A and B are shown apart, each in its own frame.
Chain A
Amino acid sequence: MKKVLIVAVLFTAMVFGCLGTGNAQTIENELYLITPVSKDVHDPVLKAFAEYAKKKFNVDVKTSAIPKGTPVAYGQIIEWKGNPQADIFWGGEGTLFDDLAAQGLLEKIQLPKKMWDEIPESIGKPVPLPLKDPKQFWVGTMLEPYGIIYQPKLVKRLGVEIKDWDDLLNPKLKGQIAQCTPDRSSSSHATVEVVLMTHGWEKGWDWMRKLAANTGIFTARSRDVPSVVAKGEFAVGFGVPSYMAFAEVLGGYDVMYVYPSNAYVTPEPMSVLKGAPHAKAAHAFIEFLLSEDGQKLISQLGVYPVTPKYKVQGAPGSNQEKAVAFTGGMRSFFDIQVGNVYNVQQAGDKKRIEDVNSYFRKEITEKHKDIVKEK
């Protein structure tokens, strides 16, 4: 009898759900992310979502995130074989998402059409960077560059000035640069690709070797790069997402940020995993994040809205204004001419990814000690 009742209730819920009387629809009381987006951003966003869910659905959602670098998260999702322990994959490069979609591991995103259409197809010149998947398997959620972070006190003491990529090759910075390896971090990977696509394969690697000669540490994870710079252990960090650098400012550290020419700009893609245990909560989460409230929230954290509709703007002294000052006065990526040389198709090729990673491993990390000695 009980079973029949449950089935009946479920059936009614389904019917009403399909009919679009959305108010009767509710969501699961749990939500799990697997994400390279660091705690600085995913924590406040999850918290805000829990409040939103309480208000809108009257559900107490228990949220948690599995923090993993993009390549690791990608591999983990494949390893789950369609039985994921998380609902949402958030962050990294769009091509990996295309790849997961091709393997049937993603679900189509359900968003109000208006919301979907507000997000532009792409950004950047001469090469356009897509901000959403035309097949609707992933959607961009926010914009941020992968640039350079530095410790002003140390940089001043070393007598260098940092304005663009090439300033990192100054011999005065020997042993002072922190970077992660491209196989552990998608921000490093994308930034290495920017170097390779700017200079070409051969000259690009020469550039990377020169950078390695100045490198003092290859960190275990990309998030360590801004940490060690903020602490003053190393003077400069390479390929750092702006919000990570800004998180250090919010944490009370004295750091500066540079958005160098043609730096990779990520839309931090988001997807619902196929077979997600809490799929409804997952779709609700995406809708929340792309709403005005969601976009306003992230604009306090050192990232930029993914639509031209919203700008980073706040009361004087607010985190928004601090963030604007921190990244040199920019309020929206749609206000400026975004330079981009990163070719998604080329960089996203599976073989290319492996080639770049293994070249870096063989010729840069494994030979690091020799490179430092030579130069």
Chain B
Amino acid sequence: MSFENGEATLSGGATRLWSRRNFGGLAGYAGIWLFLAIFLIYPLIRLFYDAFTDDANAFTLMNFSDFFTDTYYLKATINSLLLGVATVITTSLIGIPFAFLLLRYEFPGRGLFSYLSIIPMIMPPLVGVMGFVFIMGRAGTVNVILMDYLGFAKPVNFMYGIHGVLIVETLHLFPLMTLSIVDAMGKISPSLDEAAESVGSRGLRKFWDITFPLTTPGYVAGALLVFIWTFADFATPLVVGIDDLLASQAYLNIVQFVDRRLFKMGIVISAIMILLAIVFLIVAKRYVAQKDYSSLSYSVIERRTLSTAGNIGVVVFLSSVLIAAFIPYFGIILDSFGKGWALTPFPVKYTMQYFERVSIETPKFILNSLLYSGISVAICIVFGVPIAWVMARTKLPGRDTLDSLTTLILALPGTGIGIAYLRAFRDPFPFTETALIGMWLVIPIVLGIRRLPYTVRGTFASLLIVHKSFEEAAESVGAKKTVTFKDVTLPLIWKGVLVGSLYSFILALQEASATLLLVVPGHEMMPVGIFNFYMGGSVNEAAALGLILIVLGAVCLFAINKITGAKAGGVFG
């Protein structure tokens, strides 16, 4: 892609405007690149530099050879990959039928189910597994009932082990799969279906020939997100006593600084996780590139009604999955109000003291969260909207790379980014004694980078739906690009930008993998507060703070639903 090509496609009038308009425009474009170069590319390079050097900064492959000759780390790698694949399978088994039913059939409570099915995504790290343990742990509600009332001699082990991690991840992440499939299937024109049926293709055959190939890109994108999320989660396994996963090892090795060897291994593991993430991305690339989402609008699907038995079956299936997925919420609610709850099915004493403590004594967690997430969304908009615009509307050189970079961010494990930042920004600024990692500003920046893809995707999708002819019409009567953007494009895409930003906001609120490593004292956000309370033994306070965060997230999600109507899945791609 070269400049000449880009110019050649512009009309003659625009060519004259090119020089004037472009000076500011190009400076802005350079600004975007500078931002990405400093806060995304440089930290990653720094991480790899550290992984390939020894303490004396000499090049070495020893670190990697240590990794690949250590059977424990190899086992952890295999476990992580298996867990990721297993979660993709289980979320598919639940998420695909969910999407299919919600989209193609009419049954009682469909609207409610479709709203509730996204809720489980709102689950800050640690909170989900905590909630599960309260209900399903060895001394959780279910086991206490089994033992005290149903004569079980021993508790059933639902949680402690890799299967516990799988349960937690599955019930947390299946909505991601559902959203991806809903999004993809919603774009299949019913005329294709009809055409298939008119030539006698029905049922499974039709699914295999028409529905399946057309939903594959959406499915792969969803599967990749589920996989990476599971792959990068270190909190859940640690709570249920599982160490032998890559993310847990990276975290444990990094947070212990005593043994420099282990610390180095933490860096190496992060580098390997990022490399693996890049490999998965390349494998899935032809499905998840932004451009492949160019289907323009959602088609209206005629929903089929079901027999009574069918209705009952569907409602029972959806309800039981949702009840299971809501287990952590029950656990969190009970524990945030219950005092001294142990070995009884439900708390015996109730109190408001934990909410008082987290909201009155330490409101900083809540305030910091809102402030930093807000700033990070501002960063997302300032950089994300122009990036999407460049990708959708221009032929500037480097826009394909922008596309790849923003997609790459989605695949990067948060722990890896956190560690990369720790290494990259620990030296003080010139002439001062403060380094970026000691300033609170690093938190909104890392959040902004991490959540950028959601804003880019939301905006990009909207830009594709707004037909270029509107803008061309405005320009043909003499409007400048900027005026066109303000008067024509922006009013048409603001919903997409807003929805993308709200997703960025929800996810920024819940982020704890990168921020946990970068936390600056006095500037902790809610998820870090949850970690601190939990790690400090104040489990009830952690639950209370978690509940507040969940409610905040649900409110944002409700707002998204209101804005977009039924098309909530749009930005997830």
Contacts and interface: CB of A to CB of B under 8 A. Distances in A.
Interface of A: 30, 32, 38-40, 62, 64-69, 71-72, 74-76, 78-79, 83, 85-86, 151, 153-154, 183-184, 216-221, 223-224, 226-227, 230-234, 244, 247-248, 251-254, 353-354, 357-358, 365-366
Contacts of B72: 366
Nearest to A226: B537
B256 A248 contact: no
B239 A220 contact: yes
Nearest to A219: B241
Nearest to B351: A252
B532 A231 contact: no
B457 to A, nearest CB: 34
B540 A85 contact: no
A40 B259 contact: no
Query: Which of B133, B258, B532, B540 gathers most chain A CB within 10 Å?
Result: B258
Interface in B445-499: none
Contact of A71 (B243, B257, B532): B257
Contacts of A220: 238-239, 252, 535
A248 B428 contact: no
Given A184-B256, A232-B342, 6 more contacts: A39-B536, A67-B532, A71-B258, A154-B343, A224-B537, A253-B342
B257 A76 contact: yes
B137 A72 contact: no
A32 B257 contact: no
Contacts of A223: 535-537
B363 to A, nearest CB: 13
A227 B138 contact: no
B339 interface: yes
A100 to B, nearest CB: 12
Given A184-B256, A252-B349, A233 B138 contact: yes
Among the interface residues B137, B139, B244, B438, which one has the most CB atoms of the partner chain A within 10 A?
A: B139
Mostly, the A contact residues are mixed
A252 B241 CA distance: 25
A357 B238 CA distance: 19
A220 B520 CA distance: 22
Interface string B515-534: 00001111000000000110
> Secondary structure of the B side of the interface?
loop
B533 A39 contact: yes
B509 interface: no
A197 B520 CA distance: 39
Nearest to B540: A251
A38 B340 contact: no
Nearest to A354: B259
Contacts of A226: 537
B257 A218 contact: no
B243 A218 contact: yes
A153 B139 CA distance: 12
Contact of B257 (A78, A83, A233): A78
A83 B433 contact: yes
B539 interface: yes
Given A64-B521, A151-B342, A75 B537 contact: no
Contacts of B394: none
Contact of B133 (A64, A71, A233): A233
A217 B241 contact: yes
A105 to B, nearest CB: 13
Pick the most buried of A65, A183, A216, A252: most chain B CB atoms within 10 A of its CB: A252
B255 interface: yes
B299 interface: no
Q: Lowest 9 A-B CB distances belong to which pairs?
A: A75-B257, A252-B340, A232-B139, A39-B536, A217-B241, A220-B238, A232-B343, A71-B258, A232-B342
Contacts of A71: 256-258
A65 B524 CA distance: 11
A220 B426 CA distance: 26
Contacts of B537: 38-40, 223-224, 226-227, 244, 247-248
The interface centre, meaning the residue of A67, A74, A151, A220 with most chain B CB atoms within 10 A of its CB, is A220
B263 interface: yes
Given A183-B258, A218-B243, A85 B340 contact: no
A201 B133 CA distance: 37
Contacts of A86: 521
A234 to B, nearest CB: 7
A279 B197 CA distance: 79
A74 B257 contact: yes
Contacts of B239: 220
Contact of A254 (B138, B262, B342, B539): B342
B29 interface: no
A28 to B, nearest CB: 13
A166 B217 CA distance: 60
A220 B533 CA distance: 14
B346 interface: no
B340 A251 contact: yes
A244 B538 CA distance: 11
A223 B571 CA distance: 41
A234 B238 contact: no
Contacts of A227: 537, 539
B438 A39 contact: no
A183 B536 CA distance: 18
A326 B231 CA distance: 43
14 contacts: A69-B255, A75-B256, A79-B426, A85-B521, A183-B259, A218-B241, A221-B535, A231-B341, A232-B139, A233-B133, A233-B138, A248-B537, A251-B339, A366-B72
A75 B238 CA distance: 21
